[in-house]
Copies of this chain bind each other. A is one copy, B any other.
């Protein structure tokens, strides 16, 4: 089941125009390399899921790849706005963006339902929040036992989930640790799973806090060391806080954003080249 293939092949084979794609990673292990590859291949009309769309989704949205975004918090963590996301919602640039928004708790429950092959998840919900009124993805239901109202959230079932992990072994098992966020549920909710990894090893050493995704739920493994940058992979790379700060100025201006994407993403073929390109240009540091 799990094949070890180049990232360009995985993205080319598994993600089509209009695909529903979840790229998860809760601050930690965000699959930036895969996001870049989607931009390079010029995918269009994507439906993207992510609890915390951050810089990589700002890039995908600004690059015009995204038709619809399902999310719960869209900002540059610790810095401020995602200007490309805002420009798309506020001004329809470079194209209009449909949004479906949730609370974190609802997004999490929707992934759990998807991973469990249930039509919906259940949370208590928050009475009086306008958010629930603006969403077709949630409905109040009553407990059949005591009539108590709770909130049903329609399951997330993306076509493809993409995550970044520390390691894969030769059989295609995947090992990640540290903050594991929503990765397992996102992985199991999807029809296909692409995992970029820091390292491919013969056998795993057990690591406290590890989560292992067995090979039979993994579709493609792609070796992409540093592939979480500017996010990080615990035990391998550090979060590049400077890049998050620098991104604010880059993304604030349409022209500067387009130059950045053209030069550093469309003009490169891998995360290693992206990092070199940024370092050489002093752009984003």
Binding site for B on A (CB under 8 A): 117-124, 139, 141, 143-146, 148, 150, 152, 154, 206-210
Contact = CB atoms under 8 A, between A and B. Distances in A.
A144 B154 CA distance: 9
Given A118-B124, A206-B209, A208-B210, A143 B150 contact: no
* Interface of chain A: mostly helix, strand, loop or mixed: loop
Nearest to A144: B139
Most chain B C-beta atoms within 10 Å of own C-beta, residue among A119, A139, A141: A119
Contacts of A123: 118
Contact of A154 (B121, B145, B208): B145
14 contacts: A118-B123, A118-B150, A119-B145, A119-B146, A119-B148, A119-B150, A120-B143, A120-B144, A120-B145, A139-B144, A141-B141, A141-B144, A145-B154, A208-B210
Given A208-B206, A208-B210, A145 B150 contact: no
Nearest to A152: B144
Most buried by B among A117, A120, A145: A145
Nearest to A208: B206
A114 to B, nearest CB: 13
A242 B150 CA distance: 49
A122 B124 contact: no
A120 B148 CA distance: 10
A208 B207 CA distance: 5
Nearest to A139: B144
A67 to B, nearest CB: 21
Nearest to A136: B145
A143 B139 CA distance: 10
Contact of A122 (B118, B145, B207, B210): B118
A114 B122 CA distance: 13
Contacts of A207: 208
A177 to B, nearest CB: 9
Contacts of A152: 143-145
Interface centre among A124, A143, A146 (most CB of B within 10 A): A143
A28 B230 CA distance: 42
Contact of A117 (B124, B143, B154, B206): B124
Scoring A122, A139, A148, A209 by chain B CB atoms within 10 A of each residue's CB, the highest score goes to A122
A139 B142 CA distance: 12
A48 B106 CA distance: 33
Contacts of A117: 124
Residue among A139, A144, A209 with the highest chain B CB neighbour number at 10 A: A144
Contacts of A145: 119-120, 139, 152, 154
A118 B148 CA distance: 10
Contacts of A141: 141, 144
